[in-house]
Structure 1
Amino acid sequence: MPRISIEIPKKLVFETSLSVRISDINFAGHLAHDAILTLTHECRARFFHSLGWTEINVEGKGIVVSDVAIVYKSEAFFPDDLHLELYVDQISKKSLDMVYVITHQKDGKEIARAKTAIVFFDYAERKPCPIPIPFLEVVQSKENG
């Protein structure tokens, strides 16, 4: 099976810092694989919050994650401080990709890359819906900024 490759898009739309919690550590003593997904979720939630939205209310619409890919680059340990960058790519009518790059805050060494495909969702109608225009405007202004 070929290795997964996640390319970093050109324009950064959000960044934040998080620390590795003791509950993020696995039996081998380093950052667990499932904790990477939790870190990306926290980054995504902070991104929406920074814009005045939540994952279930972006101008009245929500999101669902339709797929996930993670590429591991190096270890992290408790209580390392991490830097997370979030990029938006592959925007279509109802979906987009969010790409995350996680590095050590102190030296910039890359820990992991992840991608989540995000589908906008109308929870009242229980079906995918177009990406809200105000969200697109914000993301495109960040991409062009």
Structure 2
Amino acid sequence: MFISKYQVRISDINYGGHMGNERALVAFQQARIEWLKTIGLSEISIGEDKGLIQRRANVEYLREISLGDILNIKIYPVEIRGSYFVLSHEVTNQEGVKVLTGNVTLGSFDYSDKKLAKIPNTLKKILEKEKSQNDRV
């Protein structure tokens, strides 16, 4: 679907000398922001006066990630429902080794009504097309 580059910064490093667990979600968000920008959207504006809200996330570290590592973050939709969708993340390091995976469930959110809402049609069509292409790979 979309691949973003992320360089591991000092703020991403924990007391153990490697990337902290919560920092993976920051990298996922950065990739998501970049992807949305390429399709003319943002986290606060996904169409029809709706934005995104994170409902759930999981992260699985497969290898240690260190300061200065360049990560390639591939994101693609794996599930699309009425008011939410799930993006999967596969992260490789500069050597092409998979170091991290995870999923983020994002809800379409009406910030004026403070409740979940149907995914806007424009975004839903993009997600369905990307999911269909990924399912064939």
TM-score, length-normalised on structure 2? 0.91
Q: Which consecutive residues of structure 1, in runs of 5 or more, have no partner in the other structure?
A: 1-12
Q: Which consecutive residues of structure 2, in runs of 5 or more, have no partner in the other structure?
A: none
When residues 89 and 144 of structure 1 are mapped into structure 2, their CA distance, relative to the original with a 3 A threshold, is closer
RMSD: 1.1
Q: 1:78 aligns with which of 67, 73, 85?
A: 67
Q: In the aligned structure 2, how far is the partner of 1:119 from the partner of 1:144?
A: 20
Aligned to 1:87: 76
In the TM superposition, residue 131 of structure 1 has moved relative to its aligned partner by 0.4
Runs of 4+ deviating beyond 3 Å: none
Number of corresponding residues: 132
Which is richer in helix?
2
Q: In the aligned structure 2, how far is the partner of 1:66 from the partner of 1:137?
A: 21
Whether 2:111 is the aligned partner of 1:123: answer yes
Aligned to 1:52: 40
In the TM superposition, residue 30 of structure 1 has moved relative to its aligned partner by 1.0
Q: In the aligned structure 2, how far is the partner of 1:98 from the partner of 1:117?
A: 6
- Per mean C-alpha deviation after superposition, the further-off stretch among 120-129 and 134-143 is 134-143
In the TM superposition, residue 143 of structure 1 has moved relative to its aligned partner by 3.2
What is the CA deviation profile of residues 60-111 of structure 1, one whole-angstrom value per residue up to 9, with x for unaligned ones? 2111111111111001111111100001011111111111111102x21111
Whether contact under 8 Å (2:71, 2:91) holds in the other structure is: yes
- Specify the code of the residue in structure 1 equivalent to 2:87: M
Q: Percent identity?
A: 24
Secondary structure of 1:90's aligned partner: strand
In the TM superposition, residue 49 of structure 1 has moved relative to its aligned partner by 1.1
Secondary structure of 2:80's aligned partner: coil
Secondary structure of 2:73's aligned partner: strand
